[in-house]
Structure 1
Amino acid sequence: MNKTDRLLAIVLELQRKGTLRAEDLAATFETSVRTIYRDMQALSEAGVPIVGAPGQGYSLMEGYFLPPVSFSVEEAVALLIGADLVEQAFDQNFGNSARAVQRKVEAILSADVGEQARRIRSTFRLVSPRANNLREQEKAHAQLLHDAIISERKVRFRYRRGTPGEGDDRETVRDVAPYGLVLVRGSWTLLAHCDLRQDIRRFRLSRMSGLIVLEERFILPDDFHFADYKPLDDRYLEVQIVISPTIADRVKESGNFFIEEITEHPDGFLVRLRVRQIEEILSWVLGLGADAVVLTPESLRSRIREDAQKLFERY
């Protein structure tokens, strides 16, 4: 990054975050603290109202705002495609805002940049693999949960732990303090403190029903930081499956959350997965048919034999 670009980026960073130390800016822009000092001097001489507070850092004088900046073709495409993703994955309110952002970005682009951005954008297409009715249900839940998170109110819902017919599919009523929403491979998950379990838990929105917002409020713990939170990985059961080359691409493209790695094997490819219980992948393994052989654990091999026998007897 050259000096001119760095000076502009520093102003934008101060405008976005408020007060920052020279050490923070040096780390962000991968330069020395001495260089940041010189940059601040250059900005002040250029008329940018920089305020320096000893022991606190630098900030912009209150009321100062950098006018809109121009976008490169790549930046414009990134913003427009990002807005497409928000419109597709988020609720209607954010979808409307995403479309408004697109219109504003397109309005300030120069004719040349706008034409190039439209041409590049036309080569991308975001397609949702999920069923429309399920996606709409998740979006409705996401919107309600987001409102509860902002207003710091607890929510109540019925939750199905597993898939019907695959082991533990009982429903339980949960009262939780919603902390945040996570979009994982097209599926929304709620991170919340569960009153029943007295701990932080993850809940798939697709398994919720009867969702309501309660009057009871909650206070987010001071030591909890949503962006930094890493849940305990309790997938202790390792599964090894050998698949034939004929379905290797299908397995690789499946995006199965439990897959740890896929390596070459004398009989095709070795797929290693980690799960909490075999019911989480039983249907998926059965769907691979005779092109897959479970090596471990024996409990999964036994279930495959039992289900295969049931299928044989039925047909």
Structure 2
Amino acid sequence: MNKTERMLAIVIELQRKGVLRAEDLAARFETSIRTIYRDIQALSEAGVPVAGAPGVGYSLMEGYFLPPVSFTAEEAVGLLIGTDFVKVRLDAEYGAKARSAQEKIEVILPGSVREESERIRSTLRLLHERGTRTHEHEKEILEPLRRAILQKRRVRFRYSKDAPAPEGYGQNERTVDPYGLVYSQGVWMLVAFCGLRQDIRHFRLSRMNKLVVQEDTFRILPGFHFPDYRPADNRNVIVRMLVDQTIADRVHESNTFYMESFEPGEGGWLAQFRVRQVEDILRWTLGWGAAVRVLEPESLRERVREEIENMLKHY
């Protein structure tokens, strides 16, 4: 990053965060504090109203805004692909906002940059195949949940614990304080304080029905900070399998959440998993047929045998 780029970036950082010390800016741009002092002086001489307070830091005078910045072709492509992702993964409201943002970005780009960004973008695709995009049911739930989280209002819904189920089948009612939404491995989950369990719980949106936003509000648990939240890992059951060489690549690329290691062994590849209960990986195991053999634990081997016997009754 040259001096001009760094000075522009400093102004953007001050606009975003309000007050920053020279030490903060030096760490952010990986340079010396002395260099930051010189950059601030150059900005002041150029007419940018930077105010400095000893022991506090630098800030921009109230009312000053940086004029619109230009994008490189690569930056424009990054933004446009981001809007494509939002349209596929989030609810209708954000989908509309993403389309609007996309149109505005394309309009402000200079002709040469727009042409180059279109050329680059034409070489990239986000495939929206079955199972890769957010289900419409999840999108319908996302919007009211987002609003409830921002307004700190409780929500009530019916929930199927073990697997997505038809509405009203095998579900129980939950009332929770919604803290935040997480998107992981193609799945949207709500992190919330559950009134029934009196603890933090995770709920898949695909398993929720009859969502109702309540009038009463809630307070977040003292000390809970959603951006820093990391759930306790209670996957204490070790599973080992032998994978046939012919499907080793596909098994490895499946990238299942539970897999811990995958390495060559005698007679195939050895895969190790860590799960909460053997049912977590039962269907995944059956899906590979005879090309995957469970070595341990015996409880999973028994469950596989039971399922095979039940299947034989249908054939």
How far apart in 2 are the matches of 1:134 and 1:34?
49
User: Is structure 2 residue 215 aligned with structure 1 residue 219?
Assistant: no
Superposed CA offset, 1:136-190 (max 9, x none): 100111111001011110101111111279xxx9532211111111111221111
How far apart in 1 are the matches of 2:134 and 2:106?
32
Task: Report the more deviating stretch, 236-245 or 129-138.
Answer: 129-138
Opposite residue 271 of structure 1, the aligned amino acid is A
User: Is structure 2 residue 209 aligned with structure 1 residue 209?
Assistant: yes
User: Is structure 2 residue 145 aligned with structure 1 residue 145?
Assistant: yes
User: What is the DSSP-based 3-state SS (H/G/I as helix, E as strand, rest coil) of the residue aligned with 1:262?
Assistant: strand
Aligned twin of 1:179: 179
TM-score by length of structure 1 reads: 0.94
Opposite residue 240 of structure 1, the aligned amino acid is R
Superposed CA offset, 1:256-315 (max 9, x none): 221222222222222211111111111110111000011111110111112222223432
User: What is the DSSP-based 3-state SS (H/G/I as helix, E as strand, rest coil) of the residue aligned with 1:314?
Assistant: coil
Matches within 5 A, 1:93-104: 93-104=93-104
Shift of 1:133: 10
Task: Tell me if the contact between 1:89 and 1:186 (Cα under 8 Å) persists in the aligned partners.
Answer: no
Task: Tell me if the contact between 1:162 and 1:170 (Cα under 8 Å) persists in the aligned partners.
Answer: no
Opposite residue 219 of structure 1, the aligned amino acid is R
Percentage identity across paired residues of the two chains: 56
How far apart in 2 are the matches of 1:302 and 1:56?
66
User: What is the DSSP-based 3-state SS (H/G/I as helix, E as strand, rest coil) of the residue aligned with 1:83?
Assistant: helix
Q: How many residue pairs end up in the alignment?
A: 312
How far apart in 2 are the matches of 1:249 and 1:141?
36
How far apart in 2 are the matches of 1:184 and 1:197?
23
Aligned twin of 1:287: 287
Superposed CA offset, 1:40-80 (max 9, x none): 11111111111112222111111111111111111010000
Task: Tell me if the contact between 1:178 and 1:192 (Cα under 8 Å) persists in the aligned partners.
Answer: yes
User: What is the DSSP-based 3-state SS (H/G/I as helix, E as strand, rest coil) of the residue aligned with 2:65?
Assistant: coil
How far apart in 2 are the matches of 1:222 and 1:111?
52
Opposite residue 43 of structure 2, the aligned amino acid is L
Task: Tell me if the contact between 2:247 and 2:291 (Cα under 8 Å) persists in the aligned partners.
Answer: yes
How big is the alpha-carbon RMSD for the aligned residues of Structure 1 and Structure 2? 1.9
Structure 2 spans left out of the alignment, 5+ residues: none
User: Is structure 2 residue 273 aligned with structure 1 residue 256?
Assistant: no
Aligned twin of 2:29: 29
Task: Report the more deviating stretch, 254-263 or 18-27.
Answer: 254-263
Aligned twin of 2:20: 20
Aligned twin of 2:68: 68
Aligned twin of 1:118: 118
Aligned twin of 2:41: 41
How far apart in 1 are the matches of 2:143 and 2:251?
33
Task: Report the more deviating stretch, 53-62 or 6-15.
Answer: 53-62
How far apart in 2 are the matches of 1:67 and 1:133?
37
1:164–1:148 Cα change, 3 Å: closer
Aligned twin of 2:59: 59
Aligned twin of 1:272: 272
Aligned twin of 2:160: 160
Task: Tell me if the contact between 2:89 and 2:134 (Cα under 8 Å) persists in the aligned partners.
Answer: no
User: What is the DSSP-based 3-state SS (H/G/I as helix, E as strand, rest coil) of the residue aligned with 2:19?
Assistant: coil
Superposed CA offset, 1:240-264 (max 9, x none): 1111122223222323221222222
How far apart in 2 are the matches of 1:257 and 1:251?
12
Structure 1 spans left out of the alignment, 5+ residues: none
Matches within 5 A, 1:73-112: 73-112=73-112
TM-score by length of structure 2 reads: 0.94
